[in-house]
């Protein structure tokens, strides 16, 4: 598995609020229009908070969270325009770096001010994951709105969260809260300490989801995280297959190997197994719009290439 990048990092730079997406010329108008057609939305007249909410929800319903490239030995390139091409022309999804990378590129082209933020996902025992474990988006509008967008986390908020709000935020996906983080496991200060750009915790239904840094990042900064998640035997992405999206009624459908899980908006789950390769390929095609030549299988992360 090769992970590549076509943009610079923030190393040695003095990043401004748009540093997370500064990478030369953006996508042309036809690419933006094609992306919007895939989402089934019109081009917003202005980059407003309401327009962002619609784009965010339509993205979750249309573009699947999936790790098929990891197991199909496909190259993952962290470049905004190439990620957009994968979503639009390839009719594919991806994991956080790809989905939020593409979405951030789209939002920037639509006039939003986008900053890429790094996060570490909390695992068992409450320990945060590796650096650059996750990519999220801070999105500002000309009207002064400051929002946290994330279309690359699987089951999470369906709508952007108010970045500066420290109380509960109700969302169709649960009750969310952004709060100052405590010092981490090695004592680095969090948002509960009076330090600039201190880390924040994002919680869902009272449980910590990820620890969010506030320092602006560039897409190229996430190469190491994407490589680790694509190759390490310790990464859950190398140990299993997933393809998942939100349904129109607020539920979720997920295909993991041959197992289909349907979750309703109120949390009821139903599981079933698909029998033949033809059924699996048809499910990818009919429910996710993904056309594959063969059924993906979990790839041995110890195998080179």
| Residues annotated catalytic, as ranges | 96, 134, 150
Phi-psi region at 35: left, alpha or beta (left = phi > 0; alpha = psi -120 to 50): alpha
Contacts of 250 (CB under 8 A, 6+ apart): 158, 172, 265
Beta strand 3-5 with 76-78: parallel, antiparallel or unpaired? parallel
Distance CA 192, CA 183 (A): 8
Can you state the angle between helices 80-88 and 96-109, rounded to 10 degrees?
100
Token pair 């915790």: residue: 201
Distance CA 305, CA 300 (A): 10
Can you state the angle between helices 96-109 and 49-62, rounded to 10 degrees?
140
Beta strand 207-212 with 243-246: parallel, antiparallel or unpaired? unpaired
The radius of gyration of the chain's CA atoms, rounded to the nearest angstrom, is: 19
Instruction: List the one residue out of 251, 175, 236 whose CA is nearest residue 206.
Output: 175
Question: How distant, in Å, are the alpha carbons of 83, 148, 288 from that of 89?
Answer: 10, 27, 14
Distance CA 50, CA 42 (A): 13
Phi, psi angles (nearest 5°) of residue 58: -65, -35
Distance CA 28, CA 291 (A): 26
Beta bridge partners of residue 270, listed in sequence order: 262
């Amino acid at each position: 598995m090769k992970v590549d990048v076509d943009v610079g990092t923030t190393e040695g730079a003095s990043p401004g609020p748009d540093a997370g997406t500064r990478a030369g010329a953006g996508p042309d108008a036809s690419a933006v229009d094609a992306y919007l057609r895939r989402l089934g939305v019109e081009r917003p007249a202005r980059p407003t908070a309401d327009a962002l909410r619609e784009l965010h929800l339509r993205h979750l319903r249309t573009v699947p969270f999936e790790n098929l490239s990891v197991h199909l030995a496909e190259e993952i390139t962290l470049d905004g325009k190439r990620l957009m091409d994968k979503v639009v022309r390839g009719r594919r999804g991806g994991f956080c770096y790809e989905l939020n990378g593409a979405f951030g590129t789209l939002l920037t082209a639509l006039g939003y001010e986008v900053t890429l933020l790094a996060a570490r996902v909390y695992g068992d025992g409450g320990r945060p994951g590796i650096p650059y474990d996750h990519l999220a988006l801070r999105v500002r509008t000309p009207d002064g709105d400051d929002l946290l967008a994330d279309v690359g986390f699987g089951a999470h908020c369906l709508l952007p969260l108010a970045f500066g709000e420290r109380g509960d935020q109700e969302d169709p996906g649960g009750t969310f809260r952004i709060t100052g983080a405590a010092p981490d496991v090695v004592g680095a200060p969090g948002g509960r300490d009076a330090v600039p750009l201190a880390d924040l915790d994002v919680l869902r239904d009272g449980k910590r989801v990820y620890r969010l840094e506030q320092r602006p990042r560039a897409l190229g900064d996430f190469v190491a995280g994407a490589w680790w998640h694509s190759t390490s035997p310790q990464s859950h992405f190398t140990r299993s297959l997933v393809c998942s999206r939100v349904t129109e009624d607020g539920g979720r459908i997920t295909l993991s190997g041959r197992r289909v899980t349907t979750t309703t908006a109120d949390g009821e789950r139903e599981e079933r197994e698909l029998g033949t390769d033809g059924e699996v390929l048809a499910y990818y095609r009919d429910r996710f719009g993904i056309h594959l030549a063969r059924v993906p299988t979990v790839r041995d992360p110890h195998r080179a290439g």
